[in-house]
């Protein structure tokens, strides 16, 4: 799908992630994610992608920001108590290295699994905002339903993405940036297949007034 624009997508994803990470509370990450997925939407639709297409994510700034805040709130509610417990155990362990190491090796897999479980329901939120023009809460609920009905395959795909990212980080972290367009492109391709999204209509961000009622969506789940 990326073809001769692969390196352009590397630059788009790198800049989008950097801008989204600089500003706290995910204020910029939502629009940047929408901008990146819009670039994939353009590419899939045969439209020439330009670097400035990334910033068209600001056309849906409010919806993307609210969706990101919902994601952060859910993450905090679930992860914060676990992190506090781990910090308390580490603090009370003192100089006991065995307890500290045992806590790390026990908590880290648990945190990793919980992070995955939190992330999966939100996989399709930003593609829905870009492609369908749905609101933040509607995007979250539709994404969660679709993720639940495809839970096993999505877990397998994300596990492969995790392994590829780890291998990329082993290459002086440079490889991790090079695979980001592939992983995001794979996620958008899965979204397209799950929701049977047509490619012959303009994305919602080209016209923010476009709203597709849920009953008109042809989900494959």
pLDDT-derived band at 103, boundaries 50, 70, 90: low
Residues 6+ apart with CB under 8 A from 68: 26, 27, 29, 30, 33
For the chain, the domains span 3-210
Mean pLDDT of the 175-181 span: 90
Residue range 8-55, pLDDT digits in tens: 999 999 999 999 999 887 789 999 999 999 999 999 888 889 999 999
**Whether pLDDT at 96 is above 70:** no
pLDDT-derived band at 94, boundaries 50, 70, 90: low
pTM: 0.83
Mean pLDDT of the 142-168 span: 91
The span from the CA of 119 to the CA of 122, in Å, is 6
DSSP character string of 153-185: HHHHHHHHHHHHHHHHHHTTTHHHHHTHHHHHH
**Whether pLDDT at 105 is above 80:** no
**Whether pLDDT at 209 is above 70:** no
Q: What is the pLDDT of residue 58?
A: 94
210 CB-contact burial (10 Å; exposed 0-12 / middle 13-18 / buried 19+): middle
Q: Which residue, 82, 69, 91, is CA-closest to 25?
A: 69
């Amino acid at each position: 799908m990326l073809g001769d624009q692969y390196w352009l997508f590397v630059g788009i994803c790198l800049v989008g992630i950097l801008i989204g990470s600089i500003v706290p509370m995910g204020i910029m990450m939502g629009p940047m994610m929408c901008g990146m997925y819009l670039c994939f939407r353009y590419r899939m639709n045969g439209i020439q992608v330009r670097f400035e297409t990334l910033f068209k994510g600001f056309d849906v700034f409010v919806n993307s920001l609210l969706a990101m805040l919902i994601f952060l709130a859910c993450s905090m509610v679930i992860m914060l108590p676990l992190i506090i417990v781990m910090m308390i155990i580490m603090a009370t362990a003192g100089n006991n290295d065995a307890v500290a190491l045992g806590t790390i090796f026990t908590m880290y897999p648990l945190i990793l699994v919980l992070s995955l479980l939190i992330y999966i329901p939100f996989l399709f939120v930003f593609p829905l905002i870009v492609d369908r023009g749905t609101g933040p809460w509607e995007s979250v609920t539709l994404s969660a339903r679709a993720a639940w009905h495809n839970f096993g395959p999505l877990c397998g795909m994300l596990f492969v993405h995790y392994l590829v990212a780890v291998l990329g980080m082993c290459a002086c972290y440079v490889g991790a940036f090079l695979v980001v367009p592939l992983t995001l492109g794979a996620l958008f391709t899965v979204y397209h297949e799950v929701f049977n999204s047509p490619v012959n209509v303009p994305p919602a961000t080209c016209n923010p007034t476009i709203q597709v009622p849920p009953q008109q969506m042809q989900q494959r789940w």
